[in-house]
Amino acid sequence: MATSWRALQNISTFIRRLDSNFVRWQSTAHNLAVKKKIDVTRQQAYLGGGQSRIDAQHKKGKLTARERIDLLCDPGSFVEYDMFMEHDCTDFGMDQQKYPGDSVVTGRGRINGRIAFVFSQDFTVFGGSLSTAHAKKICKVMDQAMLVGAPVIGLNDSGGARIQEGIGSLAGYADIFQRNVMSSGVIPQISMIMGPCAGGAVYSPALTDFTFMVKDSSYLFITGPNVVKEVTNEEVTQEELGGAKTHNVISGVAHGAFENDLEALMRLRDLFGYLPLSNKDPSPVRPCHDPWDRDVPSLDTVVPLETTAAYDIHDVISGILDENEFFEIQPAHAKNIVVGFGRMNGRTVGIVGNNPKVAAGII
């Protein structure tokens, strides 16, 4: 009888162990399945709107949203937010067209070792148009930037509001505009226009501290040439309506223009090095190998003896700044006055100078 009882106990223990192993096996299988699904979804997010649209972007001489972030931020420093977020629109068949991360890549990274929050709109997904999910992602990084006191950089490449979402998309813009206003004077806000931006996509950049453009591929206009022709019967090109030349030379909306995406992002890294992280932080100090007390012989002759002769203020500015480095703001607009950033003994300084060479430097 005792032997039979022990045998039953052994059988019961064996069954419990078997059940435990089965549950553990089920849990492991479930975890592996979840991991596989995450990996597949992550790869889909990396591809954005698909390889064919990425190739089309490259044929236009443009980088993708992720390539731009990789060039802007220090290698390996970018931490992405909300990679798997998708839009929740079900109208017009949109429930059958979903992309992980939707049409914007957001997160934080470091530029020359200093923190920055970045969003990069993905033109390969619905033309970079703004959905409710898209707006939430941008608002999140703007909120985080204000919380920790760090700049926000927007790499804009968007066709504007996503018309399928109607008023929800417009409400998303309102949320972004509100944060633009709240951030003003608190943290630096920089916009780099890297594609055709229309409608709501142009209002936010106009509210930021600096707006830069890429020549021949970026445009800023409230509405496109086709609508202008329909309403006013006037034919106008994209470049004339809102190209880099128009906004850098005539309107003054933009603060600079660059030849291509690569140059734009490298120059943006340069500008970042002059700016404080917030209104509570001092501007950065860079080690300086240019002696602070060096002579500048050119200053003895740069100003002509004749009072009617003009000279170029750039010659004066470059002579007194560290290593002759000067980051000029709006170099093509109102050339009779020169403004920008430089360094003296490693410290950031702002430069404002009338330029006698253009319109006698008058204001």
- Got the DSSP string for 275-309? S-SSTTSPPPB----S-TT---GGGGTSS-SSTT-
Return all residues near 320 (Cβ < 8 A) that are at least 6 apart: 296, 299, 344
* Predicted confidence (pLDDT) at residue 24 exceeds the cutoff of 80: no
pLDDT of residue 3: 58
- State the DSSP string of 20-78: HHHHHHHHHHHHHHHHHHHHHHHHHHHHTT-HHHHHHHHHTT---HHHHHHHHSPTT--
160, 172 contact by CB (below 8 A): no
Q: Do 164 and 95 form a contact (C-beta atoms < 8 A)?
A: no
pLDDT at 67: 96
150 or 291, which is more confident?
Answer: 150
Integer angstrom CA distances of residue 51 from 42, 46, 64, 84, 353? 15, 10, 11, 19, 49
- In this predicted structure, what is the pLDDT of residue 172? 92
Give the 3-state secondary structure of residue 166.
coil
Average pLDDT, integer, range 211-229: 89
Specify the pLDDT at position 12: 66
Q: What is the pLDDT of residues 102-136, one digit of tens each?
A: 999 999 999 999 999 999 999 999 989 999 999 99
Given a cut of 90, is residue 225 above it in pLDDT? no
Most confident segment among 77-81, 216-220, 222-226, 290-294 = 77-81
Question: Is residue 16's pLDDT more than 80?
Answer: no
Is the model's pLDDT at 87 over the cut of 60?
yes
Which pLDDT band holds residue 210 (cuts at 50, 70, 90)? very high
Please give the model's pTM, rounded to 2 decimal places. 0.87
Q: Which run of H or of E encompasses 80? A: strand 79-81
Q: 97 pLDDT exceeds 80?
A: yes
| pLDDT value, residue 46 | 86
pLDDT at 8 over 60: no
pLDDT of residue 298: 86
Bridge partners (DSSP) of residue 109 are 116
- How is 197-243 classified by DSSP, letter by letter? EETHHHHHHHHSSEEEEETTT-EEESS-HHHHHHHH-----HHHHH-
What is the average per-residue pLDDT within 67-80? 96
pLDDT at 331: 95
Question: Which has the minimum average pLDDT: 36-40, 178-182, 250-254, 280-284?
Answer: 36-40
Place of tokens 């078997």: 18
Residues 187-206: tens digit of each pLDDT: 999 999 999 998 888 999 99
**pLDDT confidence of residue 41:** 82
